[in-house]
Structure 1
Amino acid sequence: MRDLSEQEKFWQGDFGNQYVERNIGQPLVAASLAMFAKALSRAGRIDSVVELGTNAGNNLQALHQLLPESELFGVEINESACAQARALGIAQIWQGSLFDFPRERTYDLSLSKGVLIHLAPELLATAYAQLYALSRRYILIAEYYNPAPVEVPYRGNSGKLFKRDFAGEMLDRYADLHLLDYGFVYHRDPQFPADDITWFLLEKRP
């Protein structure tokens, strides 16, 4: 059995539980739905989705509304979040670290939203490998963007929030990945505000 990293234990514990309580509610689902509608507008048919870092299932709820026929899968390390996501009854939820999720199949879309920013930089290569290996065609990354890597203090904690060009690093790493579309969601958007998220839709091409 692999020993969890300090960060994984951090999100598995009380801080992760508090995060769950702060990040639930229909306004968040609505904002996610608006973002996904734009982010996936240039994608083809999507019959299956896997989200690495599902939390309580806001994104899965949005995707269920947008892609009602799609098979949805979530991966979540926090027990409380996992239980809430399962209770929605719309997706299969696997409890554990995204680094341990088995690559038993591929999905039309693999997704990371607000997850890569919370990983230690030395873990990113493994996270990218998971996103890439699990994707049959599309990868959607929705995170905080910065041209150069930078750490940001996070609720009194250090080493827990980072900004960088996650999508660019994946494009450099995998030659068959191409940028299909990208966009930004401003925190002062009058209809569907989000936390200054930049999204990138990548596609695997032969």
Structure 2
Amino acid sequence: TGLNLKVMKSILANAEFHGIEINRKAYEILKVWGGGKAYHQSILDFKSRIKFDFVYTKGVLIHINPDQLSRVYETLYRSSKKYICIIEYYNPKPVEVPYRRHRNKLFKRDFAGEMLDKYHDLNLESYGFVYHRDKHLPQDDLTWFLLKKK
């Protein structure tokens, strides 16, 4: 969460940022940075009375048990005034992938498609792919989807 918020803060210096971080060490670093409001909890437990202009996940949904995804989709949808951005590993069909020698810890699927099916007032505004061999912005191979409320 912290690195992503730092990048966004460098682009949108006057914006207000909030981040959910389940990892204690990462949460403490985020608090010390002070560039936004940090919540130390799981997205499964997050409740907010605030609606945000832009909400996103990056590498979060892939670790949510598929039985709990509907709750997370609801949290994203309810927390958003306008935009939802999903940055995750993509697969057209749901699949479980071994993760660091563990099972049931990483799941690929069409997260954006599921949200579009669930919430009919969402539109797909844009999408793209981040490639691990990009010399300017090396990351994992990720697909991003920008959804907008009508």
Q: Distance in 1 between the 2:31 and 2:8 partners?
A: 15
Counterpart of 1:182? 127
Counterpart of 1:50? none
Alignment of 1:1-206 (within 5 A): 54=1, 57-205=2-150
Over residues 171-190 of structure 1, what are the superposed CA-to-partner deviations in whole Å (9 max), with x where a residue is unaligned?
00001000000000111112
Q: Which amino acid aligns with 1:136?
A: K
For the residue of structure 1 that corresponds to 2:77, the secondary structure is helix
Q: Distance in 1 between the 2:87 and 2:143 partners?
A: 6
> What TM-score comes out, normalization by structure 1 length?
0.71
RMSD: 0.8
Any gaps of 5 or more consecutive residues in structure 2?
Answer: none
Q: Distance in 1 between the 2:45 and 2:99 partners?
A: 25
Q: Which amino acid aligns with 2:31?
A: R
Counterpart of 1:31? none
Q: Distance in 2 between the 1:155 and 1:79 partners?
A: 20
- Give how far 1:103 is off: 2.3
- Contact (CA 8 Å) 2:20, 2:38: kept in 1 or not? yes
- Residues paired across the two proteins, number: 150
Q: Which runs of 4+ in 1 moved over 2 A?
A: none
For the residue of structure 2 that corresponds to 1:200, the secondary structure is strand
- Contact (CA 8 Å) 2:98, 2:105: kept in 1 or not? yes
Q: Distance in 1 between the 2:80 and 2:11 partners?
A: 19
Identity of aligned residues (%): 51
Q: Which amino acid aligns with 1:78?
A: N
> What TM-score comes out, normalization by structure 2 length?
0.97
Q: Which amino acid aligns with 2:85?
A: L
Higher-helix-fraction structure: 1
Over residues 155-179 of structure 1, what are the superposed CA-to-partner deviations in whole Å (9 max), with x where a residue is unaligned?
1111101110000000000010000
- Give how far 1:76 is off: 1.3
Over residues 70-120 of structure 1, what are the superposed CA-to-partner deviations in whole Å (9 max), with x where a residue is unaligned?
100011122111101111110110111212222211000011000000111
Q: Which amino acid aligns with 2:16?
A: E
